[in-house]
């Protein structure tokens, strides 16, 4: 959230306080929030990797978003009765629980935090729209490239990259579920990306060998991530803004 605006010390302290209060640890494949659930608190990912997903009548699964540290799992809990989708851990994941009440009052009191939450939600909308473009109009090869490049940018934002490498330990089945492909085809496209020398993929670590070429291959334009408001770009995760 701090991408959007600088927080005052007091605001930071309040956030820390909320985050430290209560935590959960989730094992891989475990639901953090199930579809149809309504809990009294909000989950924030502190470490690990999770995903939003929906199951289909025919047994298929569609992953709609990956959640990395700093992401809010269920902002809708403020307002809506039930979750219209599930959130599951992919790797072991720790989350902080913030009471919905606390969140609501927080929004009323301070405007910085409220605006930051709006920014996060608006950015989520942008990411979803981009994914629709992906699945609607881009080829399998481009889709995978796009997903990987987007994850590189997002991991940079939270300073979880090592150069052009980042830990992204998803199975190819997950990748397929996220891109709307079959595992077999996702595999072939992944191989092509490697053969083209754009990326490397070993032991759950993605290394982008040619960021510029990958960006081109992905037809990536980062405006939808709205990093332009970053208050101090030089300090933000090795300048994620340079990638967009």
Residues that bind DNA (CB under 7 A): 139-141, 171-173, 180-191, 203
- Measured from the CB atom, is 136 or 163 closer to a second copy? 136
Rank residues 201 and 244 by Cβ distance to DNA and give the closer one. Answer: 201
Contact 181, 189 (CB under 8 A): yes
Two tokens at 101? 């009440």
Residue 215 contacts which entry, a second copy, DNA, none (Cβ below 5-8 A, type-dependent): none
Q: How far is the CB of 128 from a second copy (least distance, A)?
A: 4
Q: How far apart are CA 140 and CA 196, in angstroms?
A: 15
How remote is the C-alpha of 39 from its chain's centroid?
Answer: 21
Report in angstroms how near the CB of residue 193 gets to a second copy at its nearest: 19
Q: Scan for tokens 């891989």, then name that residue.
A: 28
- Residue written as token pair 């995978």: 144
- The 15-34 contact track toward a second copy, x by CB under 8 A, reads --------------------
Site for a second copy in 114-143 (CB under 8 A): 115, 118-119, 121-122, 124-126, 128-133, 135-138
CB of 221 to DNA, least distance (A): 20
Please, are residues 39 and 143 in contact by the beta-carbon 8 Å criterion?
Answer: no
Length of the chain: 244
Q: Which of 58, 232 has the CB closer to DNA?
A: 58
Measured CA distances, 169 to 100, 134, 202 (Å): 31, 22, 9
Q: Which CB, 180 or 183, lies closer to a second copy?
A: 180
Write the CA distances from 69 to 50, 62, 192, 219, integer angstroms. 9, 21, 30, 26
Binding mask 215-244 for a second copy (x = CB under 8 A): ----x---xx-x-xx---------------
Separation of alpha carbons 88 and 214, rounded Å: 29
What tokens does 78 get?
């403020």
Q: Is 154 in the site for a second copy (CB under 8 A)?
A: no
Distances (CA, A) of 4 to 113, 117, 122, 229, 233: 10, 9, 11, 5, 11
For residues 49 and 116, which CB has a smaller minimum distance to DNA in the complex? 49
Q: Helices in the chain by DSSP H: which ranges?
A: 9-21, 100-109, 111-137, 140-157, 172-179, 183-195, 211-217
When CB distances are held under 5 to 8 angstroms depending on the partner's kind, the choice from a second copy, DNA, none that residue 21 binds is none
The residues of the shown chain that bind a second copy, judged by CB under 8 A, are 4, 36, 52, 54, 56-57, 60, 62, 64, 75-76, 78-82, 84-85, 108, 111, 115, 118-119, 121-122, 124-126, 128-133, 135-138, 179-180, 219, 223-224, 226, 228-229
């Amino acid at each position: 959230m701090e991408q959007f605006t600088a927080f005052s010390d007091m605001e930071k302290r309040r956030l820390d306080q909320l985050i430290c209060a209560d935590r959960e640890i989730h094992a891989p494949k475990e639901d953090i929030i199930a579809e149809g659930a309504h809990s009294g608190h909000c989950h924030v990912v502190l470490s690990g990797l999770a995903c939003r997903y929906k199951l289909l009548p025919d047994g298929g699964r569609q992953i709609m978003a990956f959640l990395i540290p700093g992401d809010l799992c269920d902002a809708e809990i403020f307002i809506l009765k039930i979750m219209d989708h599930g959130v599951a851990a992919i790797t072991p994941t720790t989350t902080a629980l913030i009471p919905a009440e606390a969140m609501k009052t927080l929004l009323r009191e301070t405007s910085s935090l409220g605006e930051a939450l709006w920014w996060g939600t608006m950015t989520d909308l942008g990411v979803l729209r981009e994914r629709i473009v992906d699945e609607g109009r881009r080829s399998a090869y481009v889709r995978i490239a796009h997903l990987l490049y987007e994850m590189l940018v997002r991991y940079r934002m939270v300073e979880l990259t090592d150069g052009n490498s980042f830990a992204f330990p998803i199975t190819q089945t997950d990748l397929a579920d996220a891109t709307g492909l079959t595992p077999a085809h996702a595999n072939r496209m992944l191989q092509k990306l490697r053969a083209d020398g754009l990326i490397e993929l070993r032991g759950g670590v993605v290394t982008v060998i040619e960021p510029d070429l990958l960006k081109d291959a992905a037809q990536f334009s980062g405006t939808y991530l709205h990093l332009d408001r970053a208050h101090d770009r030089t300090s933000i995760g090795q300048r994620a803004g340079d990638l967009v």
